[in-house]
Structure 1
Amino acid sequence: MAPQKRTAEEADALLEGIQVLLLDIEGTTTPISFVKDKLFPYVRENVETYLTNHFAEEECVGDVTALRELAAKDVADGVEGAVAIPGAESPQDAVVKAVVDSVGWQMNQDRKSTALKQLQGHIWREAYKQGKVKGELFDDVAPAIKQLVEDGKKVYIYSSGSTEAQKLLFAHSTEGDLSESLTGYFDTNVGSKTESDSYKKISEEVGVKPEEILFLTDIPQEASAAVKAGMKSQLVVRPGNAALTEDDKKNFPYIESFDELLGAEDGTKKLAPGEEGDADGDQEADDANGDGDEAEAVEGEESNQ
């Protein structure tokens, strides 16, 4: 289905009163397939090598410690399938094997633990910097973000992936480095994306009233949590996303392209009357100054034909 186009007036209505845009990543700015088919498999294929190469480094020690503590809690809570990780005094090979098994199990369960996301982010950082991975964005995302920022909006990211992984994706994207266009990043350290308190905290941190924030996501439960916190939210329909139900469409506005936020057929923001390059605006300005006689004469001739 081709993306819906909106008029400039309709686009302005979507952003009326909005100072901050808060963007989800997977299924919103980035194809789900990129995360599912590229980023996650990269971790599975490289986690053992990464741990072995960086095992004694402070950052890696911190990653392993966080995973060990999480695993200990899971085991104590009787979580089925949880993999215990040996203590720091254990042989390196034993610890690495247990961490690899634990990471694989968590990813199979689609867990979004902060400890897991932290290690994944560090593995991806190495991949991005080595040029083995580039962050994929939908074609409409980068131009829209840049235009919105030019229009005075602030753009933040909120994803279950670590803030470091988020920064890497946008700094090493297929559309170049978008870091300067983004004001900040939030991850699960602020709370779950399906809990309204998370969005209240974000509002407090960015220093803007909830009703002045627009959250874009492909997940209705996340949109609901944001709205409960007082934010505005719109669902984003993208190829590969789960289909929205009729109730979803009734409960939330939705867009199929960020172009709709700009209200232009070609994805560029329409110029306001009187701005350079707007022929209609120039004519309106002439009319207001009494210099529209020629245009009026032409219109008169056309009406008589």
Structure 2
Amino acid sequence: MTTVHAAMLDQIKSGQGFIAALDQSGGSTPKALKGYGIEADAFSNDEEMFALIHDMRSRIVTAPCFNGDKVIGAILFERTMDGDAGGKPVPALLWERGVVPFLKVDKGLEDEIDGVQLMKANPGLDDLCERAVAKGVFGTKMRSVVNLANPVGVNAIVEQQFAEAKRIAAHGLMPIIEPEVNIKSAERDGADRLLLQEITTALDSWEGAPVMLKLSLPAEAGLFQSLVDHPKVLRVVALSGGFARPEACTELAKNPGIIASFSRALLEDLRHQMSDEEFNASLGGAIKEIHAASVA
């Protein structure tokens, strides 16, 4: 293990803070831009759209408040990993500030079968992992979705996630396994419990270094405590899942040991039209609020 990798591992394992999710991809980018105050008529093709979202992310990661004191990691979209901010490659800039870089590696979701949406096939995963390692990225994240408490579907989700995690870990990267339970599901609590059972079984037979888990905040507070304490889990992080920031932070604080990995709840008050002073104050306030809930 290199000195840099060991330092990143220590920051993620022991750092008092949260992981920012800056990984909206092609499908969710227009919505993210609209939330930022940029309407669809401001761009005419994908290149222009991605340039605008890169400008937003650059503004975030170069803000004075975006550093390892409260933000211990950040999950990047592939184009963000490949881009520059503040005149430096984004992963290098982040680590200079004490923020550990992760990369979103999934290629989106399949249609729902058995109450779940598996990840699309990802034949280029090994090549992407090699590029990530070369750029100084520490780990990866991949998302699938559980809509119903269907045992067959939940088993398939967890099997796929851990199979991909094995491929990722072989490159020396830290996999974040993200089987998101839809918080609007009528079967949310049942899905949480099935997922807990399947993940525990998978962890008990996992060989190799610990992994990370990114989970929806459970309907029953504290339900995932055994995962937080599991020897094969480095850290459990939570997505906001559609909760606005105040509610997401309230729910998070009910689950000791779990830290935030919020996207929408982090960025919801930021607007393109803000002055740098307004932008930095708004982002700083959001970071402070999410940090407090993560270390509660």
Q: Which has the larger radius of gyration?
A: 1
TM normalised by structure 2 equals 0.28
Q: Which has the higher contact order (CA 8 A, sep 6+)?
A: 1
Q: Would you tell me which structure has more strand in proportion to its own residues?
A: 2
Q: Would you tell me which structure has more helix in proportion to its own residues?
A: 1
